[in-house]
Chains A and B, each alone.
Chain A
Amino acid sequence: MFTFLVKRLFQALIVMFVISLVAFAIQDNLGDPLRELVGQSVSEEERQVLRDELGLNDPYMTKYTRFISNAVQGDLGTSYFFKKPAAEVILNKLQATLELVFGAALIIVFVSIPLGVFSAIHPKSAWTKLIMALSSFGISIPVFLTAIMLMYVFAIELNWLPSYGRGDTVNVLGWETGFLTKDGLLHLILPCISLASIMLPLFIRLVRSEMLEALSSEYVKFATAKGLAMNKIYYQHALKNTMLPVLTVGGVQIGTMVAYTILTETVFQWPGTGFLFLEAINRVDTPLITAYVIFVGLIFVVTNTIVDLLYGVVNPTVNITGKGA
């Protein structure tokens, strides 16, 4: 176990190094940050002075070395727009994104498992066909369209739900949460459904196929022959084994969801990291862009490692040390 951890850590470091290199290399191609910092009538000389001040005229290696030596000390640069350390800005916005992802994950868990199981148990039912049809439909609609349609129906036409932002939040132990106020919860509904809509069809299908596989396995046949109650076979034996791959995929996908909230957050003006990133690109806020790319890379590395570890815990036959396999 220990050697595995060390190995994983080492790999993670290499991955992070490569990500930092890439994130830094794209900086120069993103545009001129000065344009967003000064008015359009400011002269070129003025801009050059500012460029020198910001160190933008230094050679690539100088800039990169400076960046890395600061980065290992935890300083990822200062955002031009927010005028605060980039890492602090991202962590601040992360709360909103995590709440959005958590809300979407709840929807996915509570919708995909029952629907997936149902359609596996009753493969010929008309309901199953409807669920499958809807899920292929769902997977093919881009998320911004889903979001705009939801907003149109529920915010503009029916006027039931708010159209943008997080609404009222309360501070619980330093965490600004929207889950504890009525207004905050109302604001969460549409963005969470939109975000969930990307992953939901995938999970319904995953649960269904895993469940089907479990149901056709020897031990289920044996249990049926033995005369066990069908409900017990479904929910105690088969479902348990279905959950294993779902857990693996789910873990990886949560990381993906944190990174891919960009569209949902942009449409709903959700003050999270995805929206922040898109804005940073528009404003050529290069320190923030670099920090975000590194941060997302870190999320992927961490979630993948955790999933690998969990896999070993849930399924003892998985030999994570790689010995004697």
Chain B
Amino acid sequence: MKFFKTKLAVALLAAGLSFTSSAADVTVAYDADPVSLDPHEQLSGGTMQMSHMLFDPLVRFTKEFDFEARLAEKWERIDATTFRFNLRKGVKFHSGNTMTADDVVWTFNRLKVSGDFKGVFAPYEKMVKVDDYTVEIKSTEPYPLVLQTATYIFPMDSKFYSGQADGKDKGAIVKHGNSFASTNVSGTGPFIVTSREQGIKVVFERFDDYWDTKSPGNVDKLTLVPIKEDATRVAALLSGDVDLIHPVAPNDQKRVKTTKDIDLTTVAGTRIITFQMNQNSNPALKDVRVRQAIVHAINNKGIVKKIMKGFATTAGQQGPAGYAGYDQALVPRYDLKKAKQLMKEAGYEKGFKLSMMAPNNRYVNDAKIAQAASAMLSKIGIKVDLKTLPKAQYWPEFDVCAADMMMIGWHSDTEDSANFSEFLTMTRNKETGKGAYNCGHYANPTVDNLVNSANAETDPAKRGAMLQEVEQILYKDAAFVPLHWQNLAWGAKSNLEIAPIVNALNFPYFGDLVVK
């Protein structure tokens, strides 16, 4: 780290006080700080947010889920299983090394062995270097989501991470314990880390040799502090101690919005919150009419309005608008009368009992939503035995599908509809790992086949149609109870231009942040 700092100082001197009046110093408060400086240690929002500051991906998502060239300048599909990327020239790593195809291949191979990321890269056989600035990625079967997965390739400085430190391989990915890569970093990103105290703050400073000279960003120093408590985070923003906060709890949003010189920026999110209906533990849930009755009885619009304070988008399907499988026709279905009718048809006019579990500190207002849902179900005679648990205790229960209805939220790692089905609604299969989070035990071969074919279909139009069909079947079968997609919110001082850099993925592009 010292090395970078010295280098920065030298560069500044050489530039002859290059700081202009636009130089800005901002403090950002998040609810957590990155667990490690190693971008491959843990696949989490925090890691991805950090990666976009210290590294650059080959391509990145725009706000509209299109792709924007970053370290890859151009790309093209060569054949069904081969995809070529032309890399940008003259890109410098923080260490001063120049990025070449070797670094990209090295990074790809590291991703392939990372416990958390190898799932994303499972469809690929290998990446090969064509020349110094061209790489080709080869999949075992035709694979449509190459660009989506390329957003996960943040080239690392292979020379910097090669060799030994304290008798250990510098490039090793270590989950628990200290490693070179978890405390040292050399990427191509807009920022370098100048100091880091875990759980207290991370200080980022602008990288002088950043390749993207067209970036409008003018932040020279960014301090990231974790503030766990929602109330404290908002207080820090309102009192002027920090410039930007995320997340902003639904209850605080009005306050942030109405405060002078502070703005609230919201983006419709992509994380779906659902209830699964366990067909194995409760025979009543095997009946599609009962499942439909439950979906019709839960007023998810009301939940969004009253509990989420409008801070969510009511859902009728898995994937949000903008995703390949989104079907506009699949709207939320609250209809109490119909729900009662369905219960009657199914022979459960008198209702029945079921158990429900939900976490109480994982999703926004999770426990309150579960309480509301169980109250709504009581209106159609279903007596709910609800248990809410802290996430630490909830996940072990979820692993064994311990209740008849369980809450689960899901964000698609590939920003694609198929991912939801692969984990939540495909038939549970130990061999393939599909349906790993399917605690509804919903099993439909048609759905399985459609998703599998979609994952081998490289024509976007055909693929979209297949995934839409999946959503339609799930809707008709009431495979799960869709609640809403959580929105994302940032609170910031008005002189920070937040809207252009935030997105539904929740990876703000701080390198492009403009401070007036």
Contact = CB atoms under 8 A, between A and B. Distances in A.
Given A41-B119, A271-B199, A32 B232 contact: no
A39 B232 CA distance: 27
A80 B175 CA distance: 8
Interface in B98-130: 115-116, 119-120
A220 B198 CA distance: 58
A37 B395 contact: no
Contact of A41 (B227, B232, B413): B413
A31 B392 contact: yes
A284 B413 contact: no
A112 interface: no
Contacts of A217: none
Interface in B176-202: 176-178, 182, 198-200
Given A80-B176, A83-B182, A269 B227 contact: yes
Interface in A247-293: 266-269, 271, 275-276, 279, 281-284
Contact of B392 (A35, A53, A276): A35
Nearest to B238: A156
Contact of A282 (B116, B177, B235, B390): B390
B145 interface: no
Contacts, number: 125
Interface string B385-396: 000001111111
Interface in B400-416: 410, 413
Interface string A44-84: 10100110011000000000000000000000001011111
A268 B232 contact: yes
B119 A37 contact: no
A57 B361 CA distance: 27
B119 A43 contact: yes
A42 B238 CA distance: 39
B236 A163 contact: yes
Interface string B29-53: 0000001100000111000000000
A269 B391 contact: no
A199 interface: no
Contacts of A40: 410, 437
A11 B32 CA distance: 42
B175 A279 contact: no
A294 interface: no
A98 interface: no
Interface in B39-96: 42-44
B91 to A, nearest CB: 28
Nearest to B393: A31
A184 interface: no
A82 B241 CA distance: 26
Interface string B212-234: 00000000000001111101100
A32 B396 contact: yes
B225 A165 contact: yes
B241 A38 contact: no
A148 interface: yes
Contacts of A35: 391-392, 395
B239 interface: yes
B231 A267 contact: yes
Given A35-B392, A269-B228, A82 B198 contact: yes
Given A152-B235, A159-B239, A269-B228, A78 B199 contact: no
Given A156-B235, A269-B232, A271-B199, A38 B116 contact: yes
A39 B410 CA distance: 12
B433 interface: yes
Contact of B115 (A29, A38, A283): A38
Nearest to B423: A41
B460 interface: no
B240 interface: yes
A40 B200 CA distance: 25
B436 interface: yes
- Residues of A in contact with B, size category: 35 or more
Interface in B425-447: 433, 436-437
A214 to B, nearest CB: 44
B115 A50 contact: yes
B336 to A, nearest CB: 34
B442 to A, nearest CB: 19
A81 B423 CA distance: 27
B252 to A, nearest CB: 12
Interface string A66-109: 00000000000010111110000000000000000000000000
B396 A164 contact: no
B392 A32 contact: yes
B433 A43 contact: yes
A50 B235 CA distance: 39
A283 B392 CA distance: 7
B402 to A, nearest CB: 13
B44 A39 contact: yes
A86 to B, nearest CB: 12
Given A155-B235, A269-B229, A279-B228, A41 B43 contact: yes
Contacts of A284: 392
B119 A156 contact: no
A42 B116 contact: yes
A267 B229 contact: yes
A151 interface: yes
Contact of A38 (B42, B392, B433): B42
Nearest to B120: A41
Contacts of B229: 266-267, 269
Contacts of A279: 199, 228
A276 B228 CA distance: 11
A32 B395 contact: yes
A30 interface: yes
The 10 closest A-B pairs by CB, nearest first: A31-B392, A39-B43, A155-B239, A163-B235, A35-B395, A284-B392, A39-B116, A156-B238, A163-B239, A31-B393
Interface of B: 35-36, 42-44, 115-116, 119-120, 175-178, 182, 198-200, 225-229, 231-232, 235-236, 238-241, 361, 390-396, 399, 410, 413, 423, 433, 436-437
16 contacts: A35-B395, A38-B175, A39-B116, A41-B43, A41-B120, A41-B413, A44-B399, A82-B199, A84-B178, A155-B235, A156-B235, A162-B239, A163-B236, A163-B241, A269-B229, A282-B390
Given A42-B115, A42-B116, A271-B200, 20 more contacts: A31-B391, A38-B175, A39-B43, A41-B43, A41-B436, A43-B433, A49-B115, A53-B176, A81-B199, A82-B198, A83-B177, A151-B231, A162-B239, A164-B232, A266-B228, A269-B226, A281-B392, A282-B361, A282-B390, A282-B391
Interface of A: 29-32, 35-44, 46, 49-50, 53-54, 78, 80-84, 148, 151-152, 155-156, 159, 162-165, 266-269, 271, 275-276, 279, 281-284
